[in-house]
Amino acid sequence: MDILHCDLDAFFASVEQRDQPELKGKPVIIGAPPNSRGVVSTCSYEARVFGVRSAMPSSQAYRLCPQAIFLPPDMKRYREASQQVFAILAEYTPIIEALSIDEAFLDVSASHAIFGSSMEIGIQIRHRVKTELGLNISVGIGANKFLAKLATNLCKPDGIMEFTEDMVTNLLPTLPVDHLWGIGAVSTRHLNRSGIYTVQDLLEAPRQLLKTLLGSNTDFVLDLARGVDNRPVTPYEEVKSIGNELTFPQDISDQQVIEQVLLELAEKVAHRLRIAQRKCQTVTVKLRTPDFQTFSRSITSPTAIDDQRSIFDTAWMLYQHSGLEGKPLRLVGLTASRLQDGRYEQPSLFSDPGQDIDSIIYRLNEKFTQGTIKRAVLINPVGHNIDQDTVGPKPTK
């Protein structure tokens, strides 16, 4: 049992409750205000009791929990807290695979002689994060990444659990199929309609049926159902792409909304490119229709870019030539790839005032708070706040 999965509990909301003691014990929602068309980024466990969940429209969250305190995200503070947590994790092993700002796998197979068993290491991490940083972190322990993450999911919030071999034999088969990595809400519905509700049901199902329902993912899911996961903890992979996407609560065909969303996506992708000191040559727009068909349109430029205006103009052109203009969409995404070192990009012979403006906006937002300065068209958005990140080659959390 050498793999630890560490996951901070309701991270953004917990940072707010730590820094503002008057919020402790109260339902806190991080995201768009309730009178907007934005969504919930995350919320405290006090709000989850009322049914509030991430990616839920803020207006719906308000109806479920009108007494909730809505706060905009403060990514600068969250990043600082995350760096402090990861500094603690790095004291126990250099083999750390970050899944997101608040979640990571640790391979502690070479750490036992110094720090004790995996359980003892997990206990130490939880104690230090609590006492030194004032945050709660849940820890799952397993023989592989899947079992460690499964243990975390079962012991949250503020817990620690080791998924033993006996649990693989006796507990895993009884769990609902959506506990398996890669089985989301849509796959769960398809499996349930075929009479497959538990992991045991899946193991007993005809292989051909599973191939029909799960496609190329079948073998991977069946391995997980048996407790097998051979993926190593990967300390670092060079980022090959940076992207964001948004799934709408209801299908959207209004081109003004699509334009607004693409502008918000471009703003966030540009911001993350500058943080990573990268520029991109390829821009890709991802569009998903109500029947779950996904279409991608890409274009590669000889000149690398990192400013919002250029990324948006490219994305909007791709949308307009996608053949889906004006048609209902359930998801829109934007990805920047073919990344280059942004510090050494040869400048164009012709200056672009849009890039200068973006540089000023970026520096001001870094000095103060992200979102302090933004384009006027985004002050009162007609779309949704964008909070779903994708960083290649890792999957979205």
Question: Read out DSSP for 333-367?
Answer: EEEEEEEEETTSPPPPSS--HHHHHHHHHHHHHHH
Average pLDDT (379-394) is 46
The domain that holds 64 is classified in CATH as 3.40.1170.60
Pair of tokens at residue 231? 């993926």
Q: Is-cis flag, bond preceding 328, omega within 30?
A: no
Tens digits of residue pLDDT in 223-253:
999 999 999 998 876 678 899 988 888 889 9
Same domain, 328 and 367: yes
Q: Rounded distance, CA 234 to CA 98, Å?
A: 9
Same domain, 254 and 384: yes
Same domain, 283 and 362: yes
Nearest to 42 by CA among 59, 25, 29, 23: 29
Q: Is-cis flag, bond preceding 21, omega within 30?
A: no
Same domain, 197 and 252: no
**Winning range, highest mean pLDDT, from 78-82, 171-175, 213-217:** 171-175
**Total structural domains in the chain?**
3
Same domain, 187 and 287: no
Q: Report yes or no on 98 lying in a domain.
A: no
Same domain, 216 and 300: no
Tens digits of residue pLDDT in 88-99:
999 999 999 998
Which residue would you say has higher pLDDT here, 375 or 310? Answer: 310
Residues β-bridged to residue 332: 246, 287
Task: Provide the pLDDT for residue 383.
Answer: 42
The amino acid that residue 131 corresponds to is: T
Q: Rounded distance, CA 146 to CA 180, Å?
A: 8
Q: Rounded distance, CA 270 to CA 280, Å?
A: 10
Portion of the chain with pLDDT greater than 90, in percent: 65
Same domain, 260 and 387: yes
DSSP helix/strand/coil, 114: helix
pLDDT at 357 over 90: no
Same domain, 341 and 209: no
Same domain, 179 and 303: no
Same domain, 276 and 218: no
Q: Report yes or no on 125 lying in a domain.
A: no
The amino acid that residue 299 corresponds to is: I
The per-residue DSSP string of 185-235 comes to HHHHHHHHHTT--BHHHHHHS-HHHHHHHHGGGHHHHHHHHTT---PPP-S
Annotated catalytic residue within 16, 97, 103, 267: 103
Task: Provide the pLDDT for residue 17.
Answer: 97
Q: Report yes or no on 210 lying in a domain.
A: yes
Print the domain residue range for 212.
168-225
pLDDT at 23 over 60: yes
Average pLDDT (329-353) is 70
The most distant pair of C-alpha atoms in the chain lies apart, rounded to whole Å, by: 67
Same domain, 206 and 304: no
Q: Rounded distance, CA 39 to CA 293, Å?
A: 24
Beta strands in 60-202 (DSSP E): 69-71, 96-100, 103-107, 137-142, 160-162
Q: Do the Cβ atoms of 225 and 139 come closer than 8 Å? A: no
Residue 103 annotated among the catalytic residues of the structure: yes
The amino acid that residue 116 corresponds to is: G
pLDDT at 379 over 80: no
The total of other beta-carbon atoms located within 10 Å of residue 315's CB is: 27
Same domain, 295 and 212: no
Q: Which of 46, 74, 102 is the last residue of a domain?
A: 74
